[in-house]
């Protein structure tokens, strides 16, 4: 992709498959590393992002290992040594509280399928001791508005490597998706999502 005049770019990517993704466990703020598949997903994502021919100036990630590992693999693919790196807990995955570390099928047996579905797919009902998607958005969006969006508005190209629910919160805002609809949006591991930004059209999702 050739950089169009007066456009800047924001690329979002969910980390590659983690060991707990593979085991179907609620992960949240726990810190499992990537699987071999997750490493491969990150490498392929790096190639896809490199082919966009975008010169990134800033890279943001969460405080969790699986996102950091994914981001470093991507930056290695980009052969990008000079980039400003920022880690923030505000970009962490949703905290699943008492569900963290539990197998999702076992959780259904313990609390019931309907209750677990509500915890996973409602916007504002958190699991015991954890966060709802609304709670996650309440920390992700102010951080984005304060720390990241101004950089994009100044013409910088930004890469964010984070998690399914932190990115879901961000996409809800960028694409003006309703809370009832955003809970249905799936974000695949290792799948880059590209937005362009201009003062005229603001953020606009683009095909990769």
Active site residues: 15, 93
What are the contacts of 105-113 at 24+ separation with CB within 8 A?
A: 105/24, 107/26
Alpha-carbon 40 to chain mean position: 18
Which is it for the CA torsion 203, 13, 156, 183, positive or negative?
positive
- Spell out the residues 6+ positions from residue 193 whose beta carbon is closer than 8 angstroms to its own: 11, 12, 13, 167, 171, 187, 205, 208
Chain position carrying tokens 């990517």: 13
Angle between helices 65-78 and 36-50 (to 10 degrees): 40
Query: What is the DSSP secondary structure assignment for residue 124, as one 8-state letter?
Result: S
């Amino acid at each position: 992709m050739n950089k169009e005049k007066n456009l800047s770019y924001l690329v979002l990517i969910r980390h590659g498959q983690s060991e707990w993704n593979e085991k179907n466990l609620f992960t949240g703020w726990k810190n499992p590393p990537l699987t071999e598949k997750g490493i491969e997903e990150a490498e392929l994502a790096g190639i896809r992002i490199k082919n966009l021919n975008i010169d990134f100036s800033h890279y943001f990630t969460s405080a969790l290992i699986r996102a950091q590992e994914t981001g470093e693999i991507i930056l290695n693919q980009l052969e990008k040594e000079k980039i400003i790196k920022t880690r923030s807990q505000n970009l962490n995955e949703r905290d699943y509280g008492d569900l963290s570390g539990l197998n999702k099928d076992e959780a259904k047996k313990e609390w019931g399928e309907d209750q677990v579905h509500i915890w996973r797919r409602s916007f504002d009902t958190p699991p015991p001791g954890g966060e709802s998607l609304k709670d996650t958005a309440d920390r992700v969006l102010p951080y984005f508005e304060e720390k990241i969006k101004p950089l994009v508005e100044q013409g910088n190209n930004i890469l964010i490597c984070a998690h399914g629910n932190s990115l879901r919160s961000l996409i809800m805002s960028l694409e003006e998706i309703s809370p009832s609809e955003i809970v249905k949006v799936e974000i695949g591991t290792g799948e880059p999502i590209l937005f362009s930004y201009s003062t005229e059209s603001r953020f606009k999702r683009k095909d990769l």
